[in-house]
């Protein structure tokens, strides 16, 4: 989006690259985190609240349930909780947006639920046959179907789970196939060698899934009133007066 905006604002510039602006940056997949997932879901929920698209409430809830299941299938229970938090916040009304522009309280809440999903694990032997690595190749449909009906292994008795850890590239957002039947999954940051450790937990899985389904149904019915409130609040939330107040500047403008 930034390159498109740049091109639009500077029409006199002759853009010579295919995508508008070329720059060397870090991998976007590196940004995958609990906080980032919270913010990512907001970028889907807010447009749904202000759009005129039919069935927006249903589509948003279906998308939400899908994302919660995929995260939980990958044993990223904290990431799924962040999306649940995000969905509830987005439908909380004008007061929430007014009070949380700086994200200070949001970061505190996210930190409070983020205990394991951080790249802070070091000193783990990931060579000499101590761990497995994902195999390349396309997964057969029958295997994928079996993973789905067993909730990616969360319905399989612990006796049949694989104790040997598996190491996955951190750029895999939802490595559900590689997490199947694994008790321990390491996500490897190939830039600094640090690991993020995930642990299969049936209790955590069902807690998150039940909470997610309840949230989806609740917010589906709340969507209409939240949409109406957002429509009424948007002119003020995007006004000069509002941002002057947030930046502690004086304004004589009246809303």
> What letter would DSSP give residue 31?
G
* Confidence at 69, pLDDT banded by 50, 70, 90: very high
For the question of whether the overall pTM of this predicted structure is more than 0.85, the answer is: no
Long-range interactions of 103-109: CB distance < 8 A, separation 24+: 106/35, 106/38, 107/35, 109/85
Q: Residue 114's pLDDT is what? A: 93
Look at residue 31 in the predicted model and tell me its pLDDT.
67
Q: Is the pLDDT of residue 83 over 70?
A: yes
For the segment 216-226, the average pLDDT, to the nearest whole number, is 95
How far is 242 from 163, CA to CA, in rounded Å? 54
Q: Say how far apart CA 116 and CA 181 lie, in whole Å.
A: 19
Mean pLDDT of 33-38: 91
pLDDT value of position 5: 59
Residue 135 DSSP label: P
Question: Per-residue confidence at 225, pLDDT binned at 50, 70, 90?
Answer: very high
CA-based torsion, 126, 127, 128, 133: positive or negative: positive
Is 181 buried (19+), middle (13-18) or exposed (0-12) by CB count in 10 A? middle
Terminal C-alpha separation, the chain: 30
């Amino acid at each position: 989006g930034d390159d498109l905006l740049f091109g639009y604002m500077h029409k006199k510039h002759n853009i010579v690259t295919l995508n508008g602006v070329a720059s060397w940056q870090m991998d976007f997949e590196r940004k995958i985190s609990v906080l980032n997932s919270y913010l990512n879901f907001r970028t889907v929920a807010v447009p749904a609240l202000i759009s005129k698209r039919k069935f927006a409430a249903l589509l948003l809830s279906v998308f939400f349930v899908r994302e919660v299941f995929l995260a939980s299938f990958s044993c990223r229970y904290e990431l799924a909780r962040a999306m649940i938090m995000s969905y509830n916040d987005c439908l909380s009304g004008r007061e929430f947006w007014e009070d949380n522009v700086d994200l200070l309280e949001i970061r505190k809440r996210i930190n409070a639920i983020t205990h394991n999903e951080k790249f802070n694990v070091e000193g783990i032997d990931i060579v000499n046959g101590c761990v497995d690595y994902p195999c390349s190749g396309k997964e057969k449909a029958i295997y994928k179907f079996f993973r789905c009906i067993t909730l990616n292994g969360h319905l399989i008795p612990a006796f049949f789970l694989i104790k040997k850890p598996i190491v996955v590239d951190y750029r895999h957002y939802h490595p559900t196939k590689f997490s199947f039947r694994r008790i321990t999954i390491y996500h490897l940051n190939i830039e600094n060698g640090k690991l993020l450790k995930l642990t299969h937990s049936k209790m955590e899985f069902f807690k998150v899934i039940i909470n997610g389904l309840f949230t989806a149904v609740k917010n589906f019915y709340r969507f209409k009133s939240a949409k109406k409130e957002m429509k009424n609040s948007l002119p003020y939330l995007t006004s000069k007066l509002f941002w002057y107040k947030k930046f502690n500047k004086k304004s004589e403008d009246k809303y």
